Amino acid sequence: MKTFTFRFHNPKNVLLYLLLMILGPVLALVIIMAMNITSLAPFLAAILLPLGGGMYLMFVKGKAKDTIDLDNAGLTSEFYGRINFDDIEQIIDLPWYQRNPPSMSLRLKSGKKVRWNVTYRSNVFNNEQDAITFSEFTAALQRRLDSRYARKLQQREPVTAEDPAIQLKREETKNSKMAYWTVPLGFIFALASLIKACGKDWIKDRGPNFSKFTEMQEKKFDGNIRIAKSMVDSMSVAQGEVYLYSNDSSATIKLLPNLSVNEPTGIKLFELTANNEELDKFIEHPDSFELKMLIVGSDSIIKSMNKSMMNYGDSASSNLYIRCYDPKHLLAPPGSRRNEPLDSATARPFDVTTAIALYDTLKPGKAIGEAYPGMKIMLAQVKHSSSFRVYLAGRKQDGISAQLFQNSVYALNKQFAAVGVDTSKFVKHTFFEK
C-alpha cells in the first residue's frame, strides 16, 4: 500500500463566494442609497466588507489537505473517503478553462464528483512539492488501473464503456500538451501572423485581398513542403538506421519533424500562414527540431511512437518503442454510460504506445516485460485476436544498434513463446540504410 499526502484547492462553494464579492457591494450600496446615507465611511464599508469577506472565505475555505492510501482494489482518501476502482464511472475530460495540470476529476457511479485542483505553480493552496506528490499519485493510480484493465482483457470481459485506465492516460497526455490560450486569443495571434506575412501587400493594395493572399500562402506552402521533405529525407539517412519488428508485415516507418502548429480558428488562410511560419523555422534551423518516429500501418493509420506517462521523465540514453494496436477492439468514447450499446461511429480502437528504457544493468527481456503492467496478458492477445498488432521499433539515433535491436527481438520472441504466440508472421524491417 502506498500513501500520498498533499495540499490542494477545494473549489466547493467558490461560486457562492464570488457572488458575495460581486453582489454584496451592489446590494449594500442600494440599501445605503435608499437610507439617504451620504457619509463616506458606510460607502467604503459597503464595498470592502463583502469583497474582503468573500476573498477570505474563498482562500480559507478553499485550502484543503488530503492523504491517500492506494491499494489493489481502490483508494482511501481522508478528504473524500473510500473509492473502489469499480466505483469509478469516468475520469472526466476537463474543459480548457478548468484544465490545470496535474489536476484530476472523477465521476463515481453514485453521481458524486471527486476533484483535486493542484498546480505546479506555487500558490496559497499548494506548492510545487504538493504537485509533484500528486503527480506521483496519478502515475501510481495509472499503473493500478492498467493492471486492472489487463486482467479484464485476459478474462475477455465485454467492453461497453471506455475504461478509466484509458481515460487517465488521455488526460495525462492532454495535460502534458496543455494549451493555455483559447480560440479568440488564437484568432488574434493568427491575425498578427497574417499581418506580419502580408502586411506590405495590404498597404500597397490599400486593403486586404484574402483570395490573393490565400493563393500566395498556398504556393509558399507547396514550396516549403518540397524543401522540407528533401531536408527530412537527408536528415533521416544521416541519423542512421531505424528498425521495426511486427506482425503487420506491410507497416513502414517515417521520420517527420515535430512541428508545433497551433491554429484553432479553422480558417484556411490562417492555417496556411501558421503552417508556413513553422516550416520556415524548420527550414532555417533544422537541427532545432526533433524527428519523430511514425508507424504507418497496413491500414494506413499513422501513429507517433512516444513515451507514455510511465516513462516521461526517464533519462535513459537507449530507448525502444512498442505499440499494441487492435482496430477491432473498440472502446466507447468519453462520457458514455456503462451498458450502453457501442456506437462504432464514435468508438475508438485500442491503441497504446510507450518507450522501453534500456540500461546496461537491465537485460532487454526484463525491460520489455515491464513495458506495460500485465505485459504477458497484452502479448497473449496476438494469439487470441487475429487483428491484434504489436510493433517494436528502435533507431540508431536513440542508442539502438542493429545488434541491440536483434537481441531485443530475441527477448520479445521468448516472451511470445511463453504465452503460446506463433511468431512466424512477424517480420523485421530496416529503414534509412546508408
Percentage with pLDDT > 70 across the chain: 75
pLDDT grade for 425, boundaries at 50, 70 and 90: very high
Q: Give the DSSP H/E element, type plus range, for residue 73.
A: none
Classified as helix, coil or strand, 323 is strand
Predicted confidence at residue 390, as pLDDT, reads 96
Residues 372 and 206: their CA atoms lie apart, in Å, by: 61
Q: Provide long-range contacts, Cβ within 8 A and 24+ apart, for 311-316.
A: 311/354, 311/355, 311/357, 312/176, 314/355, 314/357, 316/357, 316/358, 316/359, 316/399
- How many CA atoms within 13 Å lie on the side-chain side of 42? 13
Q: Provide long-range contacts, Cβ within 8 A and 24+ apart, for 69-77.
A: 69/1, 69/2, 69/3, 70/1, 70/2, 70/3, 70/4, 70/137, 70/140, 70/141, 70/144, 71/1, 72/144, 72/147, 75/141, 77/114
Residues 195 and 201: their CA atoms lie apart, in Å, by: 9
Q: Is the pLDDT of residue 39 over 50?
A: yes
Please, what is the average pLDDT of the chain?
Answer: 78
Contact yes or no for 369/376 (Cβ under 8 A): yes
Burial class, 376, CB count within 10 angstroms (exposed 0-12 / middle 13-18 / buried 19+) = middle
Q: Is the pLDDT of residue 188 over 50?
A: no
Q: Is the pLDDT of residue 181 over 90?
A: no
Task: Kindly calculate the radius of gyration of the chain based on its CA atoms and give it in whole angstroms.
Answer: 27
DSSP 357: E
Higher pLDDT, 420 or 12: 420
215-229 per-position pLDDT tens digit: 777 787 788 788 888
Predicted confidence at residue 410, as pLDDT, reads 96
Q: Is the pLDDT of residue 13 over 60?
A: yes
Predicted confidence at residue 345, as pLDDT, reads 66
Q: Is the pLDDT of residue 254 over 50?
A: yes
Least confident stretch, 10-24, 61-75, 117-131, 235-249: 10-24
DSSP E strands, 51-176? 63-70, 74-77, 81-84, 88-91, 102-108, 113-119
364-388 per-position pLDDT tens digit: 999 999 888 888 998 999 999 999 9
DSSP 7-53: EEE--TTHHHHHHHHHHHHHHHHHHHHHTT---HHHHHHHHHHHHHH
Higher pLDDT, 213 or 191: 213
Predicted confidence at residue 191, as pLDDT, reads 40
From residue 403, give the alpha-carbon distance in Å to each of 205, 359, 366.
63, 15, 17
Within 206-267, residue ranges assigned H as helices are 210-239
pLDDT grade for 236, boundaries at 50, 70 and 90: confident
pLDDT grade for 163, boundaries at 50, 70 and 90: low
Percentage with pLDDT > 90 across the chain: 27
Roughly how many angstroms between the first and final C-alpha of the chain, as a whole number? 52
Of the ranges 140-149, 158-167, 333-342, 349-358, the best mean pLDDT one: 349-358
Q: Is the pLDDT of residue 194 over 50?
A: no
Q: Is the pLDDT of residue 262 over 60?
A: no
Give yes or no for a cis peptide into 102 (omega within 30° of 0).
yes
Predicted confidence at residue 175, as pLDDT, reads 53
What type of residue sits at position 191? L
From residue 369, give the alpha-carbon distance in Å to each of 104, 153, 363.
29, 17, 10
pTM, to two decimals? 0.52
